[in-house]
Chain A
Amino acid sequence: DAGVTQSPTHLIKTRGQQVTLRCSPKSGHDTVSWYQQALGQGPQFIFQYYEEEERQRGNFPDRFSGHQFPNYSSELNVNALLLGDSALYLCASSPEAGWIPDTQYFGPGTRLTVL
């Protein structure tokens, strides 16, 4: 049973560029959440997707956007990158209903460095 997968593992961009990060949820999961984790800090919630719609959003600017596909996979897009966007980006999946819907399972993350 494959867990949550994310790509790429590492990414280096320059200020002003745009980046797309990808996530495939755990088998049987249809809800995807994205988090940003700065070095030495706890993860901060960016947004959550269900049924291809963003249904909850954290305190992040519109430069952060996302998408969910019919197969439940998801993308996180960040435009006009700033140095402060350098962080570990974590994707988490959960089943909307059924067995333990409240628990989110995390992928290995994508380390984004903005120069």
Chain B
Amino acid sequence: AQTVTQSQPEMSVQEAETVTLSCTYDTSESDYYLFWYKQPPSRQMILVIRQEAYKQQNATENRFSVNFQKAAKSFSLKISDSQLGDAAMYFCAYRRGAGGTSYGKLTFGQGTILTVHP
């Protein structure tokens, strides 16, 4: 079974600074996807960024980027120029490939609470 581990229960960062959240996963599959979701106190789970395992290039979405190390099974999220609105619980998630269909569950890590200090 696939597992996802987030070893940092809590992280904090100063506004405008950079922070990196860690995630490791365990799988025997070669085709899979990795995601970072953000869950603010409003509870809505919001997709931050996604990475296809077959792509060597790290995904980037504005201030958010990932460091995907496939051999090490590591998938960290870097937030640059942190803003107060970035404060939330961040979840790393894994989904096995399904031949271009929507079949399959997400497996989540335990989450990291990010605090942003003004």
Contacts and interface: CB of A to CB of B under 8 A. Distances in A.
Report, as a range, how many residues of chain A touch the other chain.
Answer: 20 to 34
Contacts of B111: 40-42
Instruction: Give chain B's interface residue range (CB within 8 Å of chain A).
Output: 20 to 34
A42 B95 contact: no
Which label, helix, strand, loop or mixed, suits the secondary structure of the B interface? loop
B50 A56 contact: no
Interface in B30-81: 33, 35, 37, 42-47, 50
B101 A97 contact: yes
A103 B47 contact: yes
Given A88-B43, A108-B44, A103 B103 contact: no
Interface of B: 4, 33, 35, 37, 42-47, 50, 91, 93, 95, 97-98, 100-111
Given A56-B103, A106-B44, 19 more contacts: A31-B102, A31-B103, A35-B106, A41-B110, A42-B4, A42-B91, A42-B110, A42-B111, A45-B107, A56-B104, A56-B105, A102-B50, A102-B97, A103-B33, A103-B47, A106-B37, A106-B45, A108-B43, A111-B43
